[in-house]
Amino acid sequence: MAAAAGMACYGGDMFETGIAHAAGTHMIAASQNVSLGCEFYHATYYLAHDVLQQPFPATTGVVRVPQGPGLGFDIDEALVARYAIHSETLVLDRL
């Protein structure tokens, strides 16, 4: 909507895990009118452990778009299992 109105945008995310940071980074990079900068409250600022295997890359004020498959990061599945409240395996049959 902002692009259609010719308005510049500002990007960022709030208190989330590295998964949301990666998704937000891709969304900001794909949005042509995000030209006012961005900010990220990195998970390492407020979480004892993030669920990414590698820290979210941001150095000297620059956030880089992850280049790996999917969102570009590997998830620490053991850490997710450790903090999970409920876990369920779904099996989908092919139609």
Q: Which residue pairs from 75-83 have beta carbons closer than 8 angstroms and sit at least 24 positions apart in sequence?
A: 75/19, 75/51, 76/49, 76/50, 76/51, 76/52, 79/49, 79/51, 80/51
The secondary structure of residue 19, as a DSSP letter, is H
Among residues 30, 54, 31, the alpha carbon closest in space to that of 42 is found at 54
Domain locations along the chain? 9-83
- pTM listed for this prediction: 0.75
Residue 93 pLDDT grade (very low, low, confident, very high; cuts 50, 70, 90): confident
pLDDT, tens digit (0-9, with 9 covering 90-100), for 6-32: 899 888 777 788 888 888 888 888 888
Residue 77 pLDDT grade (very low, low, confident, very high; cuts 50, 70, 90): very high
Check residue 95 and give its pLDDT.
61
Average pLDDT of the chain is: 84
Structure tokens at 19: 């998964």
Rounded to whole angstroms, the Cα distance separating 88 from 90 reads 6
